Amino acid sequence: MSFLSFSVYPQDDQQKEPSKANPRSAGKTVKTEPFDDADVKTMASKCVSLETELGEISFELFPEHAPESVRSFLNIVSLGYLDTTTFSRVVPNFVIQGGNFWTREGGVGFEMATRANRRLPDEPNRILHERGIVSMARGEEANTATTNFFILVGDAPHLDGTFAAFGRVTKGMDVVDEINKAKVTDEKPEKPVRIKRALVVNCER
């Protein structure tokens, strides 16, 4: 198994992670999800496997840099919410994007729709946005990330320190590249590739 290189900003005693826009939400009553109480060590021991129509994509996670992004992602995967969704946005030579519940086969019920709209705190960090990095998609406004994520097929330094990079592909970049070759119109693939099943697995060390 070949692994991609992983970089963070150069070490500097004066440099710290970019400040988070806001802490984890408190005081709100939400349904408990599987990884809500997981610590960083527990989350770091977990990897994710996406079984797509074109093959498997696996990646490791970096909760030490983006704990709430990782926590949310592990939750939606373990609950089966990514199953049968598609990579609904493709930008050639840049990214493939998934996580849109409304692309799911069979529709989206009230509970899933509510979950899809739950916003995450921004978690800019020192991970460089390089080929193979997995990061959270969001709008122009702060704290608008929800469940949509993207995988980079090329380096994107303009995203560094702004978007929440939270993982790295360890297997299946050939699959990512193949998805990125899709014919698109306004970044929408003509035949979106579907995630048949997404799984939380123990990482192989």
Q: Which of 6-10, 49-53, 65-69 has the lowest mean pLDDT?
A: 6-10
Annotated domain spans of the chain: 40-202
The alpha-carbon radius of gyration of the chain (Å, integer) is 16
Cα separation, 46 vs 59, in Å, equals: 9
CATH topology (fold) of 40-202: Cyclophilin (2.40.100)
What dihedral do alpha carbons 172, 175, 177, 179 form, nearest 10°? Answer: -140
- Mean pLDDT within 48-58: 98
Tell me the three state secondary structure of residue 50.
strand
Structure tokens at 101: 């519940």
pTM beyond 0.85: yes
161 conformational bin, left if phi > 0, alpha if psi -120 to 50, beta if neither: left
In a 3-state reduction of DSSP, which class is residue 23? coil
The C-alpha atoms of residue 152 and residue 97 are separated, in whole angstroms, by: 9
Distance CA 119, CA 97 (A): 17
Q: In this model, does residue 63 exceed pLDDT 90? A: yes
Q: Which residue has the tokens 């493709």?
A: 90
**Which DSSP string corresponds to 112-172?**
HHHHHT--B-----SB---TTEEEE---SSTT-B-S-EEEESS--GGGTTTS-EEEEEEE-
Q: What are phi and psi of 86, to 5 degrees?
A: -120, 165
| Residue range 101-148, pLDDT digits in tens | 999 998 899 999 999 999 999 999 999 999 999 999 999 999 999 999
Tokens 């921004």 locate to: 122
- Residue 152 pLDDT more than 80? yes
pLDDT digits (tens, 9 = 90+) for 6-46: 455 544 444 566 665 555 554 455 679 999 999 999 999 99
Over residues 69-105, the pLDDT tens digits come to 999 999 999 999 999 999 999 999 999 999 999 999 9
